[in-house]
Each structure stands twice: as structure tokens, then as C-alpha cells.
């Protein structure tokens, strides 16, 4: 794998827990200690308030297909997954699960089942969905074998247990854009140059897939070395069967130096690298899809800082075009979701974040993330860059309840605005360029408050 140039600037921060969180998440989520009962029921809920400080888009120029969207909110300023308001109180996650060891059958087999009943991308078109349903077989020295639906061994932000160790409310743009996969089906219509149009179907991936994984971690004194290799469908998580003859391969290597502790609350410094590739079917044709990344994390005493770099090629989700969900009049066609299919389409991004525990029950966090979407597209006009500062705080009420507050200062840029040329159906080049800048400059800041209750 090619080397990465991870930015050297470090953003140290000053938002719940009275201890830091670092862990070998692949092993924690896939195996059970010998003391685990046959069945343990558990879960958590996360009621969340989100407010996006934005005004409707104005100043759009051109023919009716564009100007009709004046005085309407763009999709990035609406709270998902319903996208009908700039502020929402919703039960964002509500998960109920059971895990344990199959002692009546064989104590070398453990299982993990988790249902989602909250309102998010996994349940965007259904009330309840499985997020996890897997069994791990511990027969082979040096390799645990896990099969079913579970998280792919990719980036640290995607793997982290959101209820016990994620310090923010929302994922970074690069993690959400490249790893939280949208399954699209083709539809008839005219696509913008360099893009294909379709409909997003079923659940977002939630960083998961159905497959088989071999993994293990080896400890030598304070050093720990781990690996994971997974073969998976690369299809929507709502379907057990694959939709093409190709399988995804995902591999991850990690190394840690453990200072003290164990499980999700241990203190350590670690580094990791991972790679994923496969094919996706769109409109009857298979296209290559690649994702890979590297990163690090440091946790000790009151201080935490971490960073990741992620890049992708092929099947880059580009959002709806135009970026609205409204259909104000009958003679305006609905916006269509767009995808950059071929693997010469590239995207990448990174984040750096840090946290500091200044009181036993208080932590302050700071994060900066960048997502450069379609950096190597054949159509330079399609590139968009997103940069976000996140200021946050956490408060631990007790062992089962904590609160998280984040404020995101969001910025969108159009780096190749002069490449946007005439679209005869809607506007002139000058109008199209002005519209693109108006929409980018309209992106609003986002405030989120979340309670987590674990049972």
C-alpha cells in the first residue's frame, strides 16, 4: 500500500467519561471473555437535538429548474434521515442486543446480535433493522473466525463503540462520505457530466457488511499486534445474498503500546493501516470500489489525541443534484442522487482531534476535519471540499448516563469554479458558477446535544 502523508499539525483540545477510551475494537466486538454468561441482554438509547443555523438559499439564477429552489433549504442544512427540518429532536439511536457464549452447544462459540430502532441512516426506510448478527468460532490457534453481519475492519472512527467511546455526536465528513456506504440503483434521466443518477435504496451501511472475518491480537509485554482479514458481500446490509459474483476484501493491521488498563477503558498509543476493495453493480455493470486509510491514537491520563487519513477510488457518492429535496412546482423534476462510478474518480480526507479531562466528570474536545470529494474527476467542475471545526464537551452523570455537546463550524468550497460551464437546459456558465458558490456559501453551522443511556 502506498504511503500516506498524514498532516503533521496537531490539534490538541480542551467535553463523558471519567476515563479515556482506547481499545482493540475488533476483538472487543467479536469475542467474549470466559466469564461471560450464556446470554447477556444490553442496549442503549441516544435522544438527540440538532439545530442547523441556516437560511434558505437565495440568488439562484437561470431557468425554472434552478430558480424554483430559491427560498428553500439545501439538503446539507436539513437534519437526516428525514431531511424535512433544520432542527429536530429525535431518538437518534435505540439499540437492543444480546451477546454471550453458546455453552449448551460449545463454549468456543460466542455470538452478538443487535437491533436498531432509532431514527438514522440504518433505519431510513424501515422502523427496525439489524445492525449486527454474528457468531465467532474460537477453534484455530492464532485466528478467531467471525461470520455474519458486523463492522468491517476499516477506520478507527467507524469501528469505535458509539455508546461508550465516541466523543462527538456526528462523524467526520470523510468517514461518512467514504465509509458509510449508500447503495444506489440506476434510474432514467440526464445526469450531470461525469456523474450517474439513481436512487439510494435501503439502509446506509453503518460501516458494516455480511461476510467472514479472521482476526486475532497478540500480546508481548506491553506491545500488542493485531490483524483482521474479511471477505464480504459488498451489498446492502438488508440483503443476505450478494448482488454480483465479486466479493470485497478488507484487511487491517494494528500495533499498540499499552500503558495500563484493559477493554474499552485502557490507556495506550496505537497505529493502524487498512485497505478495502471490491466491485459494485450499477445499471447492470460492475465498477471497482477501493477504500484505504491509516491513523493513530494516543490516550493517557487526562490527554487524548488522534488522527486518520482516508482515501477512496470509484463509487464516490455525490449527493442529490440539485442539492435539494423539495419539488416546489409540478413542472420541476425531483433532484436525483448522483454517483461518480469509475475508479478514476478519487476522494480523500483526514481529521485531527484531541480531548482533555479537566475535571473528573468533564471533558473538552476539539476536532478539525477535511473532505476533498472528486479530486481526480474527469470533470473538475464536480469537485467540492468540506472543512469543519468541531468544538465539544462531555459530562458524565453516572456510569450509565452521559451528555455530549458539539458545535460544528462548517465550510464548503468550490475549488474549480471556472470549470463549471454552460448547461443549456438551465443556465449560462456565469449563472451556473454563481449558483454553485451561492450553495456552497449557504452551508450552516450545526449544534447537537445528545444524551446516552446504557442499560
Nearest CA among 228, 231, 276, 269 for reference residue 252 = 228
pLDDT above 60 (res 334): yes
Q: Is 261 left (phi over 0), alpha (psi -120 to 50) or beta?
A: left
**Within a domain: 19:** no
pLDDT above 90 (res 395): yes
Contact assessment for residue 40 and residue 100, using Cβ atoms and an 8 Å cutoff: yes
**Within a domain: 361:** yes
- Residues counted in the chain: 455
**Within a domain: 16:** no
Condensed to tens digits (0 to 9), the pLDDT of residues 428-449 reads 889 999 999 999 999 999 999 9
**Within a domain: 8:** no
pLDDT above 80 (res 308): yes
pLDDT score for 328: 63
pLDDT score for 423: 61
- 140: Cβ contacts below 8 Å, ≥ 6 apart: none
Buried b (16+ CB within 10 A) or exposed e, 168-196: bbbbbbbbbbbbbbbbbebeeeebbebbb
Residue range(s) defining the domain that contains residue 139: 25-454
pLDDT above 90 (res 294): yes
CB atoms within 10 A of CB 35: 6
Question: Domain with 417 in it: what CATH number?
Answer: 2.40.160.10
pLDDT above 90 (res 210): yes
Q: What are phi and psi of 344, to 5 degrees?
A: -80, -10
Q: Among 66-80, 191-205, 323-337, 361-375, where is mean pLDDT lowest?
A: 323-337
pLDDT score for 16: 31
**Within a domain: 11:** no
All cell numbers assigned to 431: 449563472
Task: Return the CA Rg of the chain.
Answer: 22
**Within a domain: 122:** yes
What is the count of structural domains for the chain? 1
Contact assessment for residue 319 and residue 347, using Cβ atoms and an 8 Å cutoff: no
**Within a domain: 20:** no
Condensed to tens digits (0 to 9), the pLDDT of residues 22-72 reads 489 999 999 999 999 999 999 999 999 999 999 999 999 987 778 889 999
**Within a domain: 76:** yes
pLDDT band at 102 (very low <50, low <70, confident <90, very high): very high
- Quick one: average pLDDT of 208-223? 97
Nearest CA among 165, 176, 149, 154 for reference residue 253 = 154
Amino acid at each position: 500500500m502506498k504511503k500516506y502523508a498524514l498532516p503533521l499539525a496537531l490539534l490538541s483540545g480542551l467535553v463523558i467519561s471519567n476515563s479515556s477510551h482506547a481499545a482493540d475494537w475488533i476483538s472487543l466486538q467479536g469475542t467474549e471473555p470466559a466469564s461471560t454468561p450464556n446470554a447477556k441482554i444490553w442496549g442503549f438509547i441516544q435522544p438527540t437535538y440538532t439545530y442547523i443555523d441556516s437560511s434558505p438559499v437565495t440568488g439562484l439564477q437561470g431557468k425554472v429548474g434552478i430558480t424554483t429552489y430559491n427560498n428553500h433549504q439545501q439538503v446539507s442544512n436539513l437534519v437526516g434521515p428525514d431531511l424535512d427540518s433544520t432542527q429536530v429532536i429525535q431518538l437518534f439511536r435505540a439499540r437492543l442486543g444480546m451477546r454471550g457464549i453458546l455453552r449448551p452447544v460449545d463454549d468456543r462459540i460466542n455470538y452478538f446480535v443487535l437491533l436498531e430502532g432509532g431514527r438514522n441512516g440504518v433505519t431510513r426506510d424501515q422502523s427496525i433493522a439489524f445492525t449486527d448478527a454474528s457468531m465467532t468460532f474460537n477453534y484455530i490457534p492464532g485466528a478467531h473466525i467471525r461470520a455474519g453481519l458486523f463492522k468491517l475492519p476499516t477506520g478507527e472512527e467507524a469501528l469505535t463503540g458509539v455508546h461508550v467511546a465516541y466523543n462527538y455526536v456526528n462523524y467526520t465528513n470523510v468517514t461518512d462520505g467514504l465509509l458509510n456506504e449508500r447503495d444506489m440503483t440506476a434510474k432514467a434521466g440526464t445526469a450531470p457530466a461525469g456523474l450517474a443518477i439513481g436512487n439510494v435504496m435501503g439502509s446506509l451501511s453503518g460501516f458494516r457488511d455480511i461476510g467472514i472475518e479472521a482476526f486475532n491480537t497478540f500480546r508481548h509485554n506491553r506491545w500488542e499486534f493485531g490483524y483482521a482479514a474479511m471477505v464480504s458481500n459488498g451489498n446492502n446490509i438488508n440483503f443476505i445474498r450478494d448482488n454480483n459474483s465479486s466479493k470485497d476484501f478488507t484487511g487491517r493491521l494494528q500495533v499498540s503500546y499499552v500503558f495500563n488498563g484493559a477493554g474499552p477503558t485502557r490507556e495506550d498509543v496505537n497505529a493502524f493501516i487498512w485497505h478495502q476493495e471490491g466491485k459494485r453493480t450499477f445499471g447492470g455493470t460492475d465498477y471497482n470500489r477501493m477504500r484505504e486509510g491509516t491513523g493513530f491514537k494516543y490516550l493517557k491520563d487526562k490527554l487524548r489525541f488522534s488522527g486518520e487519513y482516508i482515501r477512496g477510488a470509484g463509487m464516490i457518492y455525490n449527493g442529490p443534484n440539485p442539492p435539494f429535496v423539495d419539488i416546489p412546482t409540478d413542472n420541476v423534476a425531483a433532484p436525483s442522487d448522483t454517483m461518480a462510478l469509475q475508479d478514476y474518480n478519487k476522494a480523500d480526507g483526514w481529521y485531527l482531534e484531541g480531548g482533555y479531562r479537566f475535571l473528573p466528570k468533564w471533558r473538552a474536545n476539539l476536532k478539525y476535519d477535511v473532505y476533498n470529494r472528486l479530486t481526480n474527476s474527469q470533470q473538475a467542475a464536480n469537485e467540492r471540499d468540506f472543512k469543519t471545526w468541531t468544538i465539544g464537551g462531555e459530562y458524565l452523570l453516572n456510569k450509565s448516563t452521559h451528555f455530549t455537546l458539539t458545535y460544528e463550524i462548517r465550510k464548503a468550497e468550490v475549488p474549480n469554479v471556472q470549470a463549471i460551464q454552460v448547461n443549456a437546459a438551465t443556465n449560462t456558465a456565469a449563472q451556473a458558477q454563481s449558483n454553485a458558490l451561492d450553495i456552497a456559501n449557504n452551508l450552516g453551522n450545526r449544534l447537537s446535544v445528545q444524551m446516552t443511556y446504557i442499560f
